[in-house]
Chain A
Amino acid sequence: MKKLLSIVIDIVLGAAVAALLERVIAPSLADVQPWMFSWPSIAFIGSASVCWMLLGLVFGASLGRLYIGLEVKEGTARTIATHLGLFALSTFIIGGWIVTDISPIEFLSGEGLQGAGRIFGALLTPEFDVIGEALSAMVVTIFTAFMATVVAVPLSFVLSFPAARNMLGTGLLAKTIYIVLRAILNIMRSMEPIIWAIIFSVWVGIGPFAGMLALVIHTIASLTKQYSEQIEDVNEGPIEAISATGANRLQVLWFAVVPQCVIPFLSFTIYRWDINVRMATIIGFVGGGGIGTLLTQYQGLARYHEVGTLVILITAVVWLLDVVSSRIREALR
C-alpha cells in the first residue's frame, strides 16, 4: 500500500516537474510558446511522470519513497542529489527539444515524407553529366587542403618548441612567451575554420585561396598544439647526453629532441591533411572554393540529381583518404 503511495507521489511529482518545465522554464529560456493543452503537451507531461516513476523503481531511490520512509538504498543526500541530477538532465532535454524545434509531426507528416522521398530519389539517381566539373572541383578541394597543410607545417614546427613547456627553461621571459603563445593558439583553434573562411572570403575574395588561408590558421593552431605536446613528452636522457657534449641549444633541439618527434609529427601531419580535406569541403559552402562551393551552387538551384553526384564523390574521396591515411600512420608506428 505504502509502495503504491510512493509511486503516486512520483507520478504526481514527475507531472508537476514536466509542467513546470514546459510552461515556465522553457519559455523563459527561449522565445517559444508553450504547447498548452494540446496533445503534445499531454503526451509530454504523461510520459515525464511515467519516466519519473520508472526511474524511482529502477534506482530504488525516489522522492516518493523517501517521503514515505521506504527503504532507500542509498543515503538521503544521495537520493536528493540523484533526483536533482535527473531534474537538471530533464530540464536540458526538454529545453533542448523546444529550442531546436523538434517536431515529430513534421518529421512524419505526409508532406514531409513526400519531400524526403523526392530528395532521396534525386540523390539516388545522380546526374553524372557533372562528373567532370565535380572531379576538377574535388581536385581543387584536395589541393586546398594539401597546400594549407604544407604551408602550416613549417610554421607549426617552429612554433611548437616555444609552445612546449620543457623547451624554454624557467625564466620569466620564457614563461611569458609560453603563456602568450598558448593563449593565441587556443583562440585560433577555438574559432572554427568556417568562420575564418568567411573572414578570408571577404579579405581575398571567394575561392580556394580564402579556403586555404582559413585552413592554414586552423592547422597551425592544431598542429602546434599536437607537436608541442609531443615535445613535452620527449625523454630527457638524450637531451642530457647531447648537452653534455658541449652542443648548443639549437644542436640539442635538432639532435636530441627532433629525432624523438619526427615519426609522431609525420603521423599528426598526415592525419591533419585528411581532416583538412573534409574541412575544405565544408569551407567551400561559405566561399572557400572547390567541391563545397559547387555543392552549394547546385543545392541553391535545387538540382538534387547533380547534388547526388557530388555527395557520392565527396563520400568516396573522404573514405579513401581515411583508409590511406590510417594505413600510412599504422606503417609509421
Chain B
Amino acid sequence: MIYQQLINGLMLGASYSLVAIGYTLIFGVLNLLYFAHGEVFMVGAFVGLYLVIYAGVDIYGALLGAMIACGALGIVAVFVAVRPVSKDRPLAPLISTIGLTIVLQNLAVYLIGGRQLAFPETIKQQLYHFGPVTISSVQIFILAVAVTLMVLLWLFIERSKTGRAIRATAENHETAALLGVDVNRVVLITFVIGSGIAGIAGVLDGLKNSSISPFMGLGAAVKGLIVMLLGGLGNVPGAMVAGLMLGMIEILSAAYIGTTERDFFSFLILILILLYKPTGLFGTRTIDQR
C-alpha cells in the first residue's frame, strides 16, 4: 500500500517539478514571477491534443509539437510582456504577464469553449504488477519522460556553456555581460526552455487525467509556484526534488490522514515555508534579495 502511494506521489510530483522548473529558471534570470506559465502549460496540452486528433501523430509527435509551440510562445511572451516594460519598475512585468495570462485563457475559451475535452488514448493501457504495486503503462511513460527531461536539463545547466551563462545571468546581469554574455539572448533562451518543458508537462497532464480544459493552467501555476518556493527561488535541482516531495506529501496525506482535499496540505506547506524558511528547503534567496 505504502509503495503504491509512493509511486502515485512520484507521478503527481513529476508534473509539478516540470512546471516549477520553468518558473524557477525564469525567476532565476529575471527575478520575476512569470504569471503566464500556467497558461503555457494549458496551451501545451491543447496543442498535443489537436496534433493527435487532427494530425494523427503519436504521443512523441504530440510532445515534440507541444514543446515547439510552447517554446515559440515563450518567445512571444518575452517580446510582448517582458521587453517592452520598464526594468526599473519591478512590478511592471508582473502586471504585464498577468495580462498575458488573461489573454491566453480567454483565447482558449473562445477557441475551444469552456469545457473539458477528453484526451485521446495514445498509449495502450496496460497494467504491470510488481508484488503489491500496480503501475500502468501510462504512468511508466509519464515518469520516464519527466525524469529524462530533468536529467537532460540538469546536465545542460551544469555542464554546457549556455547553461553556465544562464547561471551567471541568474546571479548578476552586469557581471554576466562583462564576461561576454548577451543577457537578452539568455533571457530568451530561458523562456524557450522553460516554456517548452511546460508544454510537455501539459501533454503529460492530459495523458494522466485523460481530459484537459482551458482552466487547467491555474492549478498547475499554483502548484508550480509552491514547488518553486519549496525548492528555493532560482534553484533548478531544488525545484525537481521539491516537486517530487510535494507530490508524495499530497498523496500520502490524502491516503493516511484521510482528507479528500489534498490541496489543503500544499497550502499549509506554502504558509510554513514562507513563515519559517523563505529561502526554501535548499535555500538560495528570498524574493527581495538579489
> Is the pairing of A and B real?
no
Q: Please report A residues at the B interface, Cβ cutoff 8 Å.
A: none
